[in-house]
Structure 1
C-alpha cells in the first residue's frame, strides 16, 4: 500500500535525525590518529606509508564516480549499506595482512567505503531538506552533521589512542563493532532517490555524460570544486603527516591522540558555525577562508615546535567551515539525478591531489624534514589558490 504524502514526508524528515546517528558512528574512526604509527610499527617507512596512502587516493579516484553512480542509479540507501560492508572488509584486511600489498588492499576498501558514505550522506541530507521544505536551513543542518562527525572523530581519536597504548590491533577490532552498530540507522533511512528519470532507466555512461555537462556548463561550480580540492589536499596531507611531525618533536603517542582529538573538536566548531561565515558576501568569504587556512599552516610549518599546534586547530576550523558553504553552492546548481555523482567527483579531485602530493611530501621529508616539506607544499599551492579565488570572485553573483 502506498504511503500518504504526510507519512512519507515525516519518514523523509526522520532521515535528518538518522543521519546524525549514522554520521557519528561512521566517523568514530578509532584508527584515525594512529594508522600511520601502526604501519610504522608493522615495519613500513615514510615512503612506503606515503605509497599506501597514494593507493588509497588512487582507489578513491578510480571508484569515486562508480560509487556516486550507485547512489544515483540504485539509491542512497544502498550506498550507505555498502559503505559499512567495505569498511569492515578494510579493517579485517589490515589485521590479517603483513606486507605492503595487504595494507594497500585494506586501504582500497577503506577508500571505497568513504566515497560511498560521502556522496550518499550529503545527497540524502540535501534532498531530505528540500523535500520537507527545509532547503533554507540546509547549510545549518549540514553544519550540525559535520559538527557531530568531528565530535565523534575526536572521541574516536581519544579512545583509539588509549587502546593503542596496549595494542594497535584492538583499535581495529573495536572499529568492526562500531560498523556493525551503524547497520541499524542505515536500515531505517527512507530512500530519497529513484532510479527512473523521464520514464527510462539511465546507463552509467549516460549519467557520467550528464554530470560532466552540468559541471562544464557552470564555471562557478567548476572553480569552486577545484578550490575545494586544493584546500582539502593541503589539509589532508598536513593532518596525516602531523602524526609523525609531532612525534619528531618528542610528543608521546597518547598526547598526539589528545592533540588530534582536540583538533576534531575545533573541526566540529567550524562545522557548527559555518552558516555564520556564509552570511558574508561570496566575494568576501572566498578570500578570507583560504587566506586564514594557508596562513595557519604556514605558521605550523615555520614554527616546527609544539607552539605550532594551535595553528593546526585554527586551520581546521576554517577548512571545515568551508565544507557546508561549498556543498550548498554546488548542490543548489546541480539536478537531483546527478547529485551523488557530482558529489563523488568533488571528492575525486581531492584524491587526485593527495595521490600526487602525499608521497612527494614523504619523499622530501625523508631527505630534509617535515617542516621543510610542508613549506614547499604551501608555496606550490598558493598561486593556484590565488588564481581560483580571482575566477570565483568574477563568476559569483
Structure 2
C-alpha cells in the first residue's frame, strides 16, 4: 500500500490523537481557579487565541498549498506540541496568552491542510466521492477521542492541575510521529510570481465572484459559530444551575459523543433529506438549543447544549465536501482556511462581549440575545445557500 493510500486512515488516527484534548473540559476551572481569571478575561483570552489563528489562518492555508499539505501538518504539529508544553508550565495570565498564541499558529497550520490532504489523497485514488464518508469518519473518531479525554479530565485535574497538560504534551509527540508518516499527493503546482496578488485573487474569487462558493463558506461559518459560542460558558452555566463539578467531564464527553453521532449520521441524512433538508434541520436545532438553554433553570438544563454539538457534527461533512468540490485545485487549503478565518474573526468580535455580558447580567439573558443573533445569522446564511449554492445542483 502506497503512502497516499494510507493517508485516509493515518489522517483518522492523527485526528484521534489530535482531539484527545485532555485540558479542554477543565479549561474554565484552570483559568478561573489556578490563573485567577474572571469570565470576561477568560472569554477575552479565547478571543486572543482565535485572533492568533485568524491572523495566520488564511496565510497558513496558502503556505500549505505552496509547501505541501504534509509539511504544513508536520510544522503545525510541532508548534502545537510546543504550545502545550508552555501551557504545562504557565502560572500567570501572560504565560497563558503566550501558550495560546503558539497553539494558535499551530492549529492554523493544521486547519485546511488536513481536509485538503484527505480530499487530494482520495481523488488521486479515484475515490473523490467518498470524501463525505471519510470526513464524517474522521470527525467521529476525533469527537469520540475528545469525549474519552473529557471523561478522565476531571480526575486528572483533581490529582494535579497540570497533569492534563503534561499528558497532552505526550499525545502531541505521538501526533507528530503520525504526521511524519503522511504521504504527499501529486498536485499540479501553478507557478506563482506574485504571492500577495494570488492571495487577493483567492479571496476575491471566493467571497465576491463565486456566489456558490461564497454561500457554502458563509453557511459553514454561521453554523460553526452558533455551535461553538457557548462552549466555554457551558461548564460555568451548568454549575451555576446546580450541577456538580464532577459532572463537567462526563458532560463534555457527551457533547463530544453527540458531535461524533452527528458526523456519523451526516452522509446518511444527506441521502435521506438531501443537503438542503439536512442543513435546514441544523438551523432549527440551533434555535431550539439556545432557546432551551435560555429558559431552563434546572440542573440538567445544559442538555440543550447537546443540540448544538449535534449540529456541529451533522453539518460539517456535507458542507466541507461541497467546499472541497468547489475550491480550485491549487488553492484548496487556502479556501478552507479562508472559511476558518471568517469564523475565528467573528468569534473574536463576539466572545469578549458575551463574556462581559455574563459577568454583568448572568448567563440566561446573554443566551437569549446570543440565540436570537445566531438564529438570525444561520437563517440568513441558509437562505443565501438555498438561493445561490443549491441552484446549480438543480439545473
Shorter-chain TM-score category?
over 0.9
Q: How far apart are the structure 2 equivalents of 1:175 and 1:33?
A: 13
By how many angstroms is 1:385 displaced? 2.4
Contact residue 23 and residue 149 of structure 1 kept, 8 A: yes
Contact residue 223 and residue 311 of structure 2 kept, 8 A: no
Q: Give the match for residue 391 of structure 1.
A: 384
Q: Give the match for residue 120 of structure 1.
A: 113
1:336 to 2:329 alignment:
yes
1:321 to 2:314 alignment:
yes
By how many angstroms is 1:331 displaced? 0.9
Q: Give the match for residue 181 of structure 1.
A: 174
Q: List alignment gaps of at least 5 residues for structure 2.
A: none
Q: How far apart are the structure 1 equivalents of 2:100 and 2:317?
A: 27
Moved more, 264-273 or 311-320: 311-320
Q: How far apart are the structure 1 equivalents of 2:193 and 2:147?
A: 41
CA 1:75–1:368 in structure 2 vs 1: closer, same or farther (change >3 Å)? same
How many residues end up aligned between the 2 structures? 387
Q: How far apart are the structure 1 equivalents of 2:325 and 2:280?
A: 21
Q: Say which of 251, 266, 277 aligns to 2:243.
A: 251
By how many angstroms is 1:11 displaced? 2.4
What SS class does the counterpart of residue 231 from structure 2 fall into?
Answer: helix
Q: List alignment gaps of at least 5 residues for structure 1.
A: 1-6
CA 1:178–1:83 in structure 2 vs 1: closer, same or farther (change >3 Å)? same
Q: How far apart are the structure 2 equivalents of 1:356 and 1:213?
A: 23
Matches within 5 A, 1:57-206: 57-192=50-185, 194=187, 196-197=189-190, 200-201=191-192, 203-206=194-197
Q: How far apart are the structure 2 equivalents of 1:304 and 1:220?
A: 42
By how many angstroms is 1:107 displaced? 0.9
By how many angstroms is 1:34 displaced? 0.8
- Encode CA deviations 1:67-118: one digit per residue, 9 max, x unaligned: 1122101011111112221112212222333332221111111222222222
By how many angstroms is 1:203 displaced? 4.6
What SS class does the counterpart of residue 300 from structure 2 fall into?
Answer: helix
TM-score by length of 2: 0.93
By how many angstroms is 1:292 displaced? 1.5
Q: How far apart are the structure 2 equivalents of 1:193 and 1:62?
A: 29
What SS class does the counterpart of residue 91 from structure 2 fall into?
Answer: coil
Q: Give the match for residue 199 of structure 2.
A: 208
Q: Give the match for residue 290 of structure 1.
A: 283
1:242 to 2:234 alignment:
yes
By how many angstroms is 1:220 displaced? 2.3
Q: RMSD of aligned C-alpha atoms?
A: 1.7
